[in-house]
Structure 1
Amino acid sequence: MTSQRTRARMIERLREKGIRHESVLAAMAAVPRHVFVEEALASRAYEDTALPLGMGQTISQPYVVARMIELLLNGRPSLGKTLEVGAGCGYQAAVLAQLTNEVFAVERLGPLLEKAKANMRALQQFNVRLKHADGQFGLPEAGPFDSIIVAAAGMHVPQALLEQLALGGRLVLPVGTSEQYLSFIERTPQGYTETRLDAVRFVPLLAGTQ
């Protein structure tokens, strides 16, 4: 179930669901998702579904990962300097790292961060910098960022993330509580533009660190 053929089927499902960017599909194909899930769930690693990680967190559905990254990348040669909020087990950061040389990822739960670090070492993915931090505040010391992606839903867009977005930069994140949607934000010389997109379901964006 962790074979190249199984991974290829996942990519075909992503195409069928509307993912068109070949670089995004190649990045998804390059990252072995089974490495990032619990051993007992390895046989389900390439299903198009979110899977539990423990501590109330999940590894995101492959389609949603691909959709968000495609929004960030479309029409640009690279993601540029990228911030991920909610690193979890590191899966999405590893996909992002296929598309840019600089990925910064923050995670508020220490045990999950350690898991992400171990996964990066196992894959020898050395262009991802992981930090234990409250993602609502972003990572100001490393900004500004050309791309910011958030893997948990808040009631509103955190102001700190808007401030850390470079001119011409893009931010994609889920917003809402019981009903959530993807928000796609671009920073232009005139200010910020927001587009509301697909209905989604993410774990909540919580404050503090553990």
Structure 2
Amino acid sequence: MNVPAMQRLIAELQQSGISDERVLGAIAAVDRERFVTPAFSERAWENTALPISFGQTISQPLVVAAMTEALRVGPRMKVLEIGTGSGYQAAILAKLARRVYTIERFKPLSREAEKRLIDLGIFNVVFDIGDGSKGWPAQAPFDRIIVTAAAEERPQALIDQLAMGGILIVPVGRDPTAQVVERIVKSERGLQRDTLMPVRFVPLVPGALPELGQG
């Protein structure tokens, strides 16, 4: 791990308003360089999104930090992530939660992420290949759900899989230039919605592509 670069990033996140010490500690503990392609290894600790395979990205660290902080993950919680990608967000969540379930529609990305986390000694993440927009009904309810792709509208299937008192963090927006992160809190009184920040994510696409990478 490039410790000076990591420390600079943590300082930048703090200056940008990230104050949760558990979140900052998790980001400091997960070597982002292990999640980017070799061509971008020198930029791994920059506060910027970077491309990975299949037209996907590893999110900007500030966005990861802000969405994770808003999720308010406790150490005994069960968390669902939609969009495994490189596995970076799942690795952060694994430092904060009891167990993380993560769904990816691209089989090679899921397999690579699973191997990457095992190599890093992270064993409390469960992987699946499937349609993230449908969630993971067999494992519901979840204390927390985070979506790392932009939904065109609030995903009712995921809201239904939230435990009472649970929190869903999801980017929403049909227009890629007008997406916002929403926090949805589920309670006996109904749903409370807050808009957190503007973002630009790849779209949440229905369906899985398990046939890719087989053989």
CA gap of 1:77–1:107, structure 2 versus 1, over 3 A, is closer
**Aligned sequence identity (%):** 46
Aligned-partner SS, 2:150: coil
| Cα distance change of structure 1 residues 79 and 63 upon mapping to structure 2, 3 Å threshold | farther
Give matches, 1:33-112, under 5 Å: 33-73=32-72, 77-78=74-75, 80-112=77-109
Per the TM alignment, residue 197 of structure 1 is displaced from its structure 2 partner at its CA by 2.0
Where does 1:90-169 land on structure 2 (aligned, <5 Å)?
90-169=87-166
Q: The residue matched to 2:138 in structure 1 has which SS?
A: helix
Structure 2 residue ranges without an equivalent (≥5): 210-215
C-alpha contact 1:174 1:200 (8 A) present in aligned 2: yes
Any idea what SS the aligned residue of 1:55 has? Answer: helix
Secondary structure, in 3 states, of the residue corresponding to 2:191? Answer: strand
| 8 A Cα contact 2:135 2:158, kept in partner | yes
Post-superposition shift, 1:45?
0.4
Q: CA deviation at 1:77?
A: 4.1
- One-letter amino acid matched to 1:175: V
Indicate which of 170, 174, 180 corresponds to 1:173.
170
Residue 100 of structure 1 aligns to a residue whose secondary structure is coil
Q: Which structure 1 residue ranges, 5 or more long, are not aligned?
A: none
* Cα separation, 1, equivalents of 2:39 and 2:174: 30
Displacement of 1:99 in angstroms is 0.3
Deviation at 1:132, TM superposition (A): 0.4
Q: How many Å separate the matches in 2 of 1:12 and 1:113? A: 31
1:204 matched to which residue of 2?
203
Report if aligned partners of 2:67, 2:169 keep a CA contact under 8 Å in 1.
yes
CA distance in structure 2 between the partners assigned to 1:20 and 1:79 by the alignment: 21
Length, aligned pairs only: 207
TM-score by length of 1: 0.96
What code does the residue aligned with 2:205 have?
Answer: L
TM-score (norm 2): 0.94
Q: Which amino acid aligns with 1:106?
A: I
